[in-house]
Structure 1
Amino acid sequence: MTLHAAKAFLHAQAAFALAWLHANVVAWSTLLQAAGGLLALGLTRLLAPRIIRLAMSTVSRLRTTPLARAAEALSRATPWLLLLVLLWFEALGFAANGLPTRLLRLFESLALAWIIIRLSSALVRSPRLARAFAIAAWVIAALNIAGLVGPTAGLLNEMAVTVGTLRLSVLLLLKGTLLLVVLIWAANLLSHWVETRLHRSRDITPAMQVLAAKLTRVTLLTLAVVVALSAVGIDLTAFAVFSGAIGVGVGFGLQKVVSNLISGVILLLDRSIKPGDVIEIEGTYGWITKLNARFVSVVTRDGTEYLIPNEDLITQRVINWSYSNDLVRLHVPFGIGYQSDVREAMRLALEAVAEVERVLETPKPVCLLAGFGDSSVNLELRFWISDPRNGTANVESDVRLLVWESYHRAGIEFPFPQRDLNLRNPEALAPVIAAALADAAKADTAGAPRKTRRSDAAD
Structure 2
Amino acid sequence: MNPDLEPYVEFSESLQAMINGALTFVQSVLSPGWRQNQILILIGLALVSWLLHRVSGQMLQEYVRKREGWSKWQLRVVVQVKRRLGLIWFAALAYAVYLVMQNITWPSRSYIIGLAATLAAVWVGIAYAARLVRNRPLRRLVMYALWVYATLYLLNVADEAAAFLDDVALEVGDFRLSLLTIITAIVVIGILFTMARIVSTTTASSIRKNEDISPSMQVLAVKGVQIVLYGIAFFMGVKAVGIDLTGLAVLSGAIGVGLGFGLQKVVSNLVSGVIILLDKSIKPGDVISLGETFGWINSLGARYVSVVTRDGKEYLIPNEDLITGQVVNWSHSNDFVRLDIYFGTAYGDDPHLVRKIAIDAAAKVDRVLAHPKLPVCHIVGFGDSSVDYILRFWIRDPTGGLTNIRGNVYLALWDAFKEHDISIPFPQREVRMLGDAGGPVQDDRQSVRLSAPAAD
User: Could you tell me the TM-score, scaled by structure 1's length?
Assistant: 0.69
Distance 2:146 2:189 in 1: 17
Distance 2:400 2:435 in 1: 64
Aligned to 1:262: 271
1:117 matched to 2:127? The reply is: yes
Amino acid in the other structure paired with 1:279: I
Amino acid in the other structure paired with 1:322: S
- State whether residues 126 and 147 of structure 2, in contact with CA within 8 Å, keep that contact through their aligned partners in structure 1: no
Aligned to 1:388: 398
Amino acid in the other structure paired with 2:285: G
Q: CA RMSD in A?
A: 3.9
Per-residue CA deviations over 1:58-84 (Å, capped at 9, x if unaligned) read: xxxxx9x99x989x999xx9xx9xx9x
Per-residue CA deviations over 1:301-354 (Å, capped at 9, x if unaligned) read: 111111111001001110000000001111111111111111111111111111
Q: Among 337, 353, 371, which residue is 1:328 paired with? A: 337
Q: Among 180, 187, 208, which residue is 1:171 paired with? A: 180
Say which SS state the counterpart of residue 178 (structure 1) adopts: helix
In structure 1, list runs of 5 or more residues that go unmatched.
Answer: 1-12, 26-62, 88-99, 435-459
Q: Among 179, 184, 199, which residue is 2:193 paired with? A: 184
Distance 2:216 2:138 in 1: 35
Distance 2:338 2:263 in 1: 42
- State whether residues 69 and 123 of structure 1, in contact with CA within 8 Å, keep that contact through their aligned partners in structure 2: no
Which residues in structure 2 correspond to 1:71-82 (within 5 Å)?
A: none
Aligned residues: 358
Q: Among 349, 352, 357, which residue is 2:358 paired with? A: 349
Higher deviation after alignment, 354-363 or 285-294: 354-363
Distance 1:351 1:194 in 2: 51
Aligned to 2:49: none
Per-residue CA deviations over 1:196-229 (Å, capped at 9, x if unaligned) read: 2211111111000000111111111211111111
Check 1:427–1:264 CA distance in 2 against 1; reply closer, same or farther (3 A cut): same
- State whether residues 117 and 133 of structure 1, in contact with CA within 8 Å, keep that contact through their aligned partners in structure 2: no
In structure 2, list runs of 5 or more residues that go unmatched.
Answer: 1-27, 39-70, 96-107, 443-456
Which residues in structure 2 correspond to 1:68-147 (within 5 Å)?
A: 111-120=121-130, 122-123=131-132, 135-147=144-156
How high is the sequence identity, in percent, across the aligned residues? 44
Q: Among 202, 209, 213, which residue is 1:204 paired with? A: 213
Check 1:129–1:272 CA distance in 2 against 1; reply closer, same or farther (3 A cut): closer
1:401 matched to 2:411? The reply is: yes
Which residues in structure 2 correspond to 1:289-300 (within 5 Å)?
A: 289-300=298-309
Amino acid in the other structure paired with 2:385: S
Distance 2:138 2:435 in 1: 99
Aligned to 2:248: 239
Say which SS state the counterpart of residue 378 (structure 1) adopts: strand
- State whether residues 278 and 322 of structure 1, in contact with CA within 8 Å, keep that contact through their aligned partners in structure 2: yes
Aligned to 1:318: 327
Distance 2:317 2:200 in 1: 25
Aligned to 2:389: 379
1:411 matched to 2:421? The reply is: yes
- State whether residues 116 and 134 of structure 1, in contact with CA within 8 Å, keep that contact through their aligned partners in structure 2: yes
Per-residue CA deviations over 1:88-147 (Å, capped at 9, x if unaligned) read: xxxxxxxxxxxx9x8888875554333213333x44567776665555444334433432
Per the TM alignment, residue 419 of structure 1 is displaced from its structure 2 partner at its CA by 4.1
Aligned to 2:292: 283
Distance 1:113 1:428 in 2: 107
Say which SS state the counterpart of residue 431 (structure 1) adopts: coil
Say which SS state the counterpart of residue 366 (structure 2) adopts: coil
Check 1:242–1:217 CA distance in 2 against 1; reply closer, same or farther (3 A cut): same
Check 1:158–1:110 CA distance in 2 against 1; reply closer, same or farther (3 A cut): same
Check 1:313–1:244 CA distance in 2 against 1; reply closer, same or farther (3 A cut): same
Distance 1:127 1:181 in 2: 11
